Chain A
Amino acid sequence: MNSNIKKEIHINKLFILDDIKVIMRILIQLLFLCLAPSLLSQGFQVNFQGQKQQGMGCAGSSLPRDASSLFYNPGSAVFLNENSVIVGGTPVFANVLFIDSASNGAYRTNSPIGTPFSIYGMFQAKSSAKLKFGIAINTPFGSTIQYEDGWIGRFALTRLSLKAIYIQPTFAYRISDNIGIGGGLVISKGSVNLQKDLPIQDANGVYSHAELAGKAIGIGYNFGIHLNANKKLNIGIDYRSKINMKVNDGEVTFNVPNSLSANFPNGNFTSSLPLPSVLTIGAALKFNRLLTFVVDVNAVGWKVYDTLSFDYNQNTSSLSDTKSARCYKNTFAFRGGMEWVALRCYSKSASNEIMVVTKIPSHELLVRCGGGFGISPVQNGYVTPETPDANRAYGTLGVGYNFNQKTGIDLSLYYTKVKRADTNIETQISGTYTTIAWCPGISFYYRW
């Protein structure tokens, strides 16, 4: 026992020296990634469901680290022998700059800070139980974008707020020591609020305004398989189904000149917004006791977002139902990262005769980094102010610290810069969108 500890500490020291070079190289590469000029995103998908994964380039479907596996791959959750609760959030600081190609006019967003959050609870009846159950609550889709007053695209959009909260009760079962499966029902509750100006001026020259607001609900599922291929390699496959968010009793409010109020009656509308399926295949490689690499490939079924339509209950000569082509295409995203144990201490009970060392480290400092590349689902001619999307590269950093065997904190930082020039076929809005987003995240866990 004693010698084991010494060995561990010894190895640890060795790797600390060796890994400095590796770490430096990775940091430099990461820096390069962060400053790389082009890049992207995938629609209004938000990939912030776990700080440990976010630190490693948002990958982790094959690496069970904590209860966030309920989202990333329920099949892997069974390999965690613990009850745990995690609460976390990732404020999104995103700024968009639009340069109109004809007038050179520059317009910015002043969007509120995005607040993706996630809460997980994972439980087992007894230690090492084959069956686990849990609940995951998170926000994998949504965004709020608000453009500055008087911007050139105001008649297409002034503000869009999309929210979708996924609530996912989940069961996971360990078939053998090497294979785990898990699945859950996903109940998605959401809301949409879309605002734009109308090109109608009142007697004082003030433009009219329309606001469409509604609540939406949809149902889907999440299913995952985890395979321990050997001691070093894990493979995970996860599928989250598409969810069609239906808005049935949305309310539309028009602010128009009195003489036209009959043409623009306030009332109800119906609409729907599909949230795409995500198929993830991932692998995790335990390079050694201190270094782990993960990769994920997402196939996202964005093709379901073909048309955005609004069906007004009451149509008039001025107000007809609208159908806007979105024509999203299915896409892929590639994510990868690594985790390195910078410090690991085991507590020992101070008995004079025998040193008892716990299996779980009492203190642990983990350093993570990663990055990824996502291909935009938005085709040329279909870029809209609501999701100024482009192919996107991003980089992430992360740190985790366990205060003791039961509690810990994880931090992450995500950075991306995205640029896309386009002329929208429907609105003829033509120019270049540049988006910079940085997203520092934090979560706390408690396990027992």
Chain B
Amino acid sequence: MVKNILPLISLLTIGIIFSSCKPKIDASSVISAGEINAQHFVAIGDGTTAGYMDDALYHDGQINSLGALLQTQLKLVGAGEIYMPLMGNANVGTNANLLSRLILGYKTDCLGVTGLSPVRFAQQGEGSSLTTSVYSSQNKFTNFGIPGLKMIDTYQHYIGDPNDLGYNPYFGRMSMDQFTLPAWSGIWSTVRDNIFNGGNPTFCSLFLGIEDVLPFAKSGATANPMTQLFGPPGVGFEESFASWADMFSVQNIKAVVGTIPDITQMPYFTTIPYNGLNLDATNAESLNQIYGPLGFSFTVGSNPFMIEDPNAGAFGVRPMVEGELILLSVPLDSVKCHQYGSVYPLRDEFVLTLAELQEIRNQILAYNQVIRQYSNFYGLAIAETPDFYSGLNDGFVYNGVSMSAKFVSGGAYSLDGIHLNPKGNALLANVFIRAINKKYKATIPQINALNYPSIYFP
């Protein structure tokens, strides 16, 4: 009997141990492209698609761009190699003013207090990259993310003309024109010309429109008017977008398009509170003497900053009201040490008033209505990025990590307060992937955004 039982038990034991030491990965989770053909994917967009972040275009930002991250996932369903106009140096980069990227460093302010602050990584930006062509006729770019690109710019010849005021150097360096007016046409090539020159996209992402309002907002609504809604392609937003949607349809290209977030929710506009004027008794008293005759009073503690507003009575000065925004471009040392924002009111260019905010937000709503209407008509997938951006403003938890729109510590924005950092781009790319999956019945896995960096602390 013992002889019978023991082998049986041993057999069973060995069987259990060897068959199931470790749980096996279920092979039933199939990755599918659904209705899309991802083979020739092209990402079209502005700085976010290009990987512009920390106020510069630099190599390490580019490889973590919305376009690159999207394509990395699309490679799982057949997309080809990523070709993008990479900058030379991993971390220097350049903005349009030839300044290098920002990093988090130490800075001593006018009060002698040293603290963490965005500082430039290098003395100078990588300016030479803007005058060196990176075009390759063999490896057509799959990423047409161009910092500063507006929806209407994609039809314009001038953005490729180095002598034009509207020239975009980020486009010039990647254009097939290679800084030379093409003899065969006699006109500078457009972004659209470049995308369809020899490349035959089968699937596109299009995330444009932020730059149609952002320069206006960054000027405190004093300059750089927003793109008008109506007008022919290259002038009006509606027809420019409609023309893209129609083109996708005609060429049988499936696409995912992003709606435009409320840019006034970005840290560039929300970091400095409207009532951040903290006064002691002495300062409050002296401000009361100055502004008392105008009917404004100050108390010890927090008070609204004073701003210029031509519509505010005879002196054109008033305190801010809740909901109004101060831009990150405001000279903070002047605020801290030279009574800027109190004795000297903040100039219009550093402030967005309620009326200005309304104007900007209405314009974005109108753009988004256009995008949704035409996308639905032409059967394009819509990535509702406003939900994601406003989710950051409310704050959410992602795999145990709290994400928010808070400047520096929020984890999603880069140090320019407008563009996302790599982790933020990964989360945004997931919004696009979910939209593709939903519209085109695909099962493309989302990105584990925790594998992508955010801000480095010294």
Contacts and interface: CB of A to CB of B under 8 A. Distances in A.
Interface of A: 16, 20, 23, 27, 30-31, 34, 93, 95-97, 99-100, 102-106, 108, 150, 152-156, 196, 199-205, 256-260, 342-343, 365, 367, 397, 399, 413, 415, 417, 426-429, 434-436, 438, 440
B423 to A, nearest CB: 9
Contact of A95 (B8, B22, B400): B22
Interface string B32-65: 0000000000000000000000000000000000
A383 to B, nearest CB: 13
Interface stretch (B179-187, B278-286, B337-345, B442-450): B442-450
Contacts of A429: 399-400
A435 B23 contact: yes
Interface residues of B, number: 43
Interface string B361-401: 00000000000000000000000000000000000111111
Given A201-B453, A205-B456, A258-B458, A99 B25 contact: yes
A427 B13 contact: no
Nearest to A199: B401
Interface in B115-134: 116
Contacts, number: 122
B131 to A, nearest CB: 31
A96 B396 CA distance: 27
A30 B15 CA distance: 13
Nearest to A433: B23
Contacts of B457: 200-203, 256-257, 259-260
Nearest to A17: B1
B111 interface: no
Nearest to B76: A104
A12 to B, nearest CB: 10
B20 interface: yes
Contacts of B430: 102
B377 to A, nearest CB: 30
B454 A199 contact: yes
Nearest to A432: B26
A93 B23 contact: no
Contacts of A16: 1
Nearest to A12: B1
Contacts of B446: 102-103
A202 B23 contact: no
Interface in B403-458: 411, 430, 445-448, 450-451, 453-458
Looking at A152, A154, A397, A417, the one whose CB has the most chain B CB atoms below 10 A away is A152
B355 interface: no
Contacts of B116: 259
B165 interface: no
Nearest to B457: A257
A97 B399 contact: no
A22 B16 CA distance: 21
A202 B400 contact: no
The 7 closest A-B pairs by CB, nearest first: A156-B400, A434-B23, A97-B23, A257-B457, A155-B400, A427-B400, A102-B446
B445 A102 contact: yes
Contacts of A436: 20-23
B108 interface: no
B26 A31 contact: no
Given A342-B1, A417-B23, A436-B23, A103 B458 contact: no
Nearest to B447: A103
Looking at A104, A152, A343, the one whose CB has the most chain B CB atoms below 10 A away is A104
Contacts of A435: 23
B5 A23 contact: yes
A365 B2 contact: yes
B73 to A, nearest CB: 9
Contacts of A108: 22
Contacts of B250: none
Given A97-B23, A413-B13, A435-B23, 7 more contacts: A196-B400, A199-B411, A203-B456, A399-B9, A427-B397, A436-B21, A438-B21
B13 A397 contact: yes
B314 interface: no
Interface string B177-205: 00000000000000000000000000000
Nearest to A98: B23
B287 to A, nearest CB: 29
A34 B16 contact: yes
Interface string B141-152: 000000000000
Contacts of B456: 201-205
Contacts of B29: 99, 104
Nearest to B403: A199
Given A102-B430, A201-B453, A427-B397, A367 B23 contact: no
A155 B23 contact: no
Contacts of A103: 445-448
Contacts of B24: 97
A205 to B, nearest CB: 5
